[in-house]
C-alpha cells in the first residue's frame, strides 16, 4: 500500500468564490483543475497525507508584520484572512509535530506585499509567509528562518519585510527583473546595513529549464542553507516558471518542480503564483505534494510534456553559472561588504517609490534604519501615497537592544501630528501595535 515517508499536511483553500475581477489571472477558477487532479489521484487518501482545515489569522497577526493604511480592514478581504490562516495552520501543525511537513495550497497569494500596505500589488495584499513566520516566532520561540522563493516573479514584498533582518535568510530565484514584473531582484540587492548577505537574489534568464533551476538550487541555495542553519525552511512555491505559464517566459516542468521540492526539503511550502491553470498547475501541485510526502513521482508528467523541447541554450547555461558564482561570492564576503555599505555611523536612509499595479497607487517612501551591531535596528518609515495619505511607521525589531528601543520610542513620540495622518508603532519586543492619538 502507498504510504508517505514524510507525514505531510495540506491546507487546501481554493477560494472558489474570490477573484480580483472575472477575467483576472487571480480568479475563482485558478485552483479548480488542481483540485480535480488532487482528488482524482486520491492524494488526500494516502496514509501519511492529511488535509487540515484552514484557520483564520487575526488582525494582531497582520499588524505584527504590516503597517496597513489606514487600517487592515481597508486593505484586505476575508479571503486574505483565510489564505494567511492556511499558512499559519500548516506552520502550527509542523511545530506541534502533528505533521513533518506541510503545503498551504491557498489563494490569494502574498509575496509582493511589502511592510507598508496601501493596497494590492502583483495580486497580493498581505504577505502570508511573513505573517505565518512572525506568528511562529512569537508562539513557538523560533529564531532563524530561511525563505526560498521559487516563484517566477521576484518576491519583492518578502524581501522588503526581511531586508533588515539578519535572522531571516531570504533567497529569491526568479526571471530576470529586466524582463518581468516587478522589475527588481538583482544581484546587488543583498540586504540592509544590519543584514548584509541574508537577502540573496538569483535572477535567471528567460527560457531557463529544469536543468538551470536545479543547478541554482544545488550550487547556491543548498550550500547557503547548510551554512545559515535555519530552524525552519519555507518555500514560497510559485508555479509560474512553468513552460506553459501565460504571463512569464521560463521553461520549468512539473517534474522539475517535484525535484526542486525533494532537494529543498522545506518544512513548509506556501503557494504563490502560477497561472497555467489547466495545463500546468494540476500537475505541478500534485508533483509538489508527492515530493513533500516522499512518494515516487516518476510517472507524473504534463499531457504535452516533451523533454526534447525543453533543452536549455548554452548561452542560458553560461549566464546562470555566472549569476550563481556571483551570488555565492556575495554570501561569502558578506561580513566585509557590511563595512562598505555602512558609510557613516548612526542611521542609514533609503528613498523609494513603490507602484501598486493591481490598485494603481504610487507610494513614496523614506526609510531610516539605526545602524546597530546588537540587533536588527530600529526602523522608521515615512510613507505617502498619491492619494494623499501620509503615515509614519516605526518598528522595534524582535530582540531589539535598549538603544534601538529608545530610538524607536523617540521617533514615535516626537513625530509631528500635523504632518502624518497616522503614526504607528510596531513593537515586536512587547508584541504590541500602537497608533498615537492626539
Active site residues: 112
C-alpha grid cell for residue 10?
495540506
User: Which of 177, 192, 193, 238 is close enough to bind Zn ion by CB under 5 A?
Assistant: 238
DSSP run (H or E) holding 352: strand 347-356
- Kindly give, in sequence order, each residue whose CB lies less than 8 Å from that of residue 54, ignoring residues fewer than 6 positions away: 11, 13, 82, 83, 85, 86, 89, 106
> What gap in Å lies between CA 306 and CA 250, rounded to an integer?
15
For residues 190 to 229, the per-residue mask of contacts with another protein, x marking binding by CB under 8 A and - elsewhere, is ----------------------------------------
C-alpha grid cell for residue 262?
525533494
Kindly indicate which of the ranges 48-56, 148-156, 207-215, 257-265 contains the residues binding Zn ion, using the contact rule CB under 5 A.
148-156
Kindly indicate which of the ranges 10-18, 38-46, 239-247, 349-357 contains the residues binding Zn ion, using the contact rule CB under 5 A.
239-247
For residues 300 to 319, the per-residue mask of contacts with another protein, x marking binding by CB under 8 A and - elsewhere, is xxxx----------------
Kindly indicate which of the ranges 126-134, 291-299, 315-323, 377-385 contains the residues binding another protein, using the contact rule CB under 8 A.
291-299
Compute the least distance from the CB of residue 438 to another protein, in Å: 36
For residues 224 to 263, the per-residue mask of contacts with another protein, x marking binding by CB under 8 A and - elsewhere, is ----------------------x-----------------
Residue 245 sits in the site that holds Zn ion (CB under 5 A)? no
Pairing of strands 422-427, 432-435: antiparallel
Q: State which of positions 78-97 bind another protein (CB under 8 A).
A: 78-79, 82
For residues 266 to 295, the per-residue mask of contacts with Zn ion, x marking binding by CB under 5 A and - elsewhere, is -------x----------------------
The helix/strand/coil state of 256 is: helix
- Cβ proximity to Zn ion: between 170 and 228 the closer is 170
User: Which of 7, 9, 49, 52 is close enough to bind another protein by CB under 8 A?
Assistant: 52
> What gap in Å lies between CA 126 and CA 399, rounded to an integer?
24
The full DSSP string for 307-323 is GGGGPPPHHHHHHHHHH
Compute the least distance from the CB of residue 359 to another protein, in Å: 19
Residue 93 sits in the site that holds Zn ion (CB under 5 A)? no
Contact 222, 214 (CB under 8 A): no
Compute the least distance from the CB of residue 38 to another protein, in Å: 9
> What gap in Å lies between CA 281 and CA 285, rounded to an integer?
6
Compute the least distance from the CB of residue 17 to another protein, in Å: 4
Using CB atoms within 10 A of its CB, is residue 328 exposed (0-12), middle (13-18) or buried (19+)? Answer: middle
Quick one: what does residue 245 bind among another protein, Zn ion, none, with the CB cut-off 5 to 8 Å set by partner type? none
For residues 161 to 200, the per-residue mask of contacts with Zn ion, x marking binding by CB under 5 A and - elsewhere, is -----------x-x--------------------------
Using alpha carbons, list the distances in angstroms from residue 102 to 20, 162, 185, 254, 308. Answer: 27, 22, 27, 19, 33
- Cβ proximity to another protein: between 51 and 413 the closer is 51
Contact 430, 421 (CB under 8 A): no
- Binders of another protein: how many residues, by CB under 8 A? 48
Residue 27: alpha-carbon gap to chain centroid = 20
> What gap in Å lies between CA 15 and CA 105, rounded to an integer?
10
Residue 225 sits in the site that holds Zn ion (CB under 5 A)? no
Residue 367: alpha-carbon gap to chain centroid = 21
> What gap in Å lies between CA 135 and CA 117, rounded to an integer?
19
Contact 148, 195 (CB under 8 A): no
Quick one: what does residue 405 bind among Zn ion, another protein, none, with the CB cut-off 5 to 8 Å set by partner type? none
The helix/strand/coil state of 260 is: helix
- Cβ proximity to another protein: between 98 and 340 the closer is 98
Compute the least distance from the CB of residue 328 to another protein, in Å: 36
- Cβ proximity to another protein: between 295 and 372 the closer is 295
> What gap in Å lies between CA 66 and CA 155, rounded to an integer?
16
Sign for the pseudo-dihedral over CA of 13, 294, 101, 162:
negative
Which residues lie across from 61 on neighbouring strands?
none
- Cβ proximity to another protein: between 36 and 413 the closer is 36
C-alpha grid cell for residue 417?
501630528
- Cβ proximity to Zn ion: between 259 and 395 the closer is 395
Return phi, psi of residue 232, to 5°: -140, 135
Kindly indicate which of the ranges 50-58, 90-98, 151-159, 397-405 contains the residues binding another protein, using the contact rule CB under 8 A.
50-58
The helix/strand/coil state of 129 is: helix
- Cβ proximity to another protein: between 304 and 413 the closer is 304
Q: Give the binding site for Zn ion (CB under 5 A).
A: 149, 151-153, 155, 172, 174, 238, 240, 273, 372, 374-375, 401, 404
Q: Give the binding site for another protein (CB under 8 A).
A: 1-2, 11-18, 22-23, 27-29, 32-33, 35-37, 39-43, 45, 51-54, 56, 77-79, 82, 246, 278, 282-283, 286, 290, 295-296, 299-303
Amino acid at each position: 500500500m502507498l504510504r508517505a515517508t514524510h507525514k505531510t499536511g495540506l491546507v487546501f483553500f481554493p477560494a472558489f468564490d474570490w477573484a480580483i475581477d472575472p477575467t483576472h489571472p487571480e480568479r475563482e477558477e485558478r485552483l479548480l483543475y488542481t483540485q480535480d487532479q488532487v482528488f482524482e489521484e486520491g492524494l488526500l487518501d494516502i496514509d501519511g497525507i492529511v488535509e487540515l482545515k484552514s484557520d483564520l489569522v487575526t488582525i494582531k497577526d497582520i499588524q505584527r508584520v504590516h503597517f496597513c493604511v489606514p487600517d487592515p480592514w481597508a486593505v484586505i478581504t476575508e479571503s486574505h484572512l483565510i489564505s494567511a490562516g492556511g499558512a499559519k495552520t500548516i506552520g502550527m501543525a509542523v511545530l506541534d509535530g502533528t505533521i513533518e511537513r506541510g503545503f498551504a495550497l491557498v489563494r490569494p497569494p502574498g509575496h509582493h506585499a511589502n511592510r507598508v500596505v496601501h493596497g494590492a500589488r502583483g495580486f497580493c495584499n498581505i504577505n502570508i509567509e511573513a505573517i505565518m513566520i512572525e506568528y511562529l516566532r512569537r508562539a513557538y520561540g523560533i529564531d532563524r528562518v530561511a525563505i526560498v522563493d521559487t516563484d517566477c516573479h521576484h518576491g519583492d514584498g518578502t524581501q522588503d519585510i526581511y531586508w533588515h533582518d539578519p535572522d531571516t535568510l531570504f533567497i529569491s530565484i526568479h526571471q530576470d527583473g529586466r524582463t518581468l514584473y516587478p522589475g527588481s531582484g538583482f544581484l546587488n540587492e543583498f540586504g540592509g546595513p544590519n543584514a548584509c548577505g541574508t537577502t540573496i537574489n538569483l535572477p535567471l534568464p528567460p527560457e531557463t529549464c529544469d536543468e538551470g533551476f536545479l543547478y541554482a538550487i544545488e550550487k547556491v541555495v543548498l550550500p547557503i542553507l547548510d551554512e545559515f542553519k535555519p530552524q525552519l525552511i519555507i518555500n514560497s512555491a510559485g508555479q509560474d516558471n512553468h513552460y506553459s505559464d501565460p504571463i512569464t517566459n521560463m521553461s520549468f516542468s512539473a517534474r522539475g518542480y517535484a525535484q526542486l521540492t525533494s532537494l529543498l526539503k522545506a518544512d513548509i511550502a506556501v503557494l504563490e503564483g502560477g497561472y497555467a491553470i489547466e495545463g500546468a498547475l494540476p500537475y505541478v501541485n500534485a508533483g509538489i505534494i508527492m515530493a513533500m510526502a516522499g512518494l515516487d513521482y516518476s510517472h507524473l508528467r504534463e499531457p504535452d510534456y516533451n523533454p526534447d523541447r525543453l533543452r536549455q541554450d548554452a548561452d542560458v547555461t553560461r549566464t546562470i553559472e555566472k549569476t550563481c558564482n556571483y551570488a555565492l561570492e556575495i554570501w561569502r564576503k558578506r561580513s566585509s561588504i557590511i563595512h562598505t555599505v555602512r558609510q557613516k555611523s548612526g542611521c542609514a536612509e533609503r528613498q523609494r517609490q513603490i507602484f501598486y499595479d493591481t490598485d494603481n497607487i504610487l507610494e513614496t517612501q523614506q526609510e531610516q534604519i539605526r545602524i546597530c551591531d546588537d540587533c536588527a535596528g530600529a526602523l522608521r518609515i515615512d510613507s505617502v501615497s498619491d492619494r494623499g495619505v501620509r503615515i509614519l511607521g516605526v518598528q522595534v525589531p524582535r530582540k531589539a537592544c535598549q538603544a534601538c528601543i529608545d530610538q524607536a520610542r523617540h521617533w514615535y513620540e516626537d513625530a509631528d501630528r500635523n504632518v502624518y495622518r497616522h503614526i504607528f508603532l510596531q513593537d515586536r519586543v512587547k508584541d504590541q501595535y500602537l497608533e498615537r492619538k492626539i
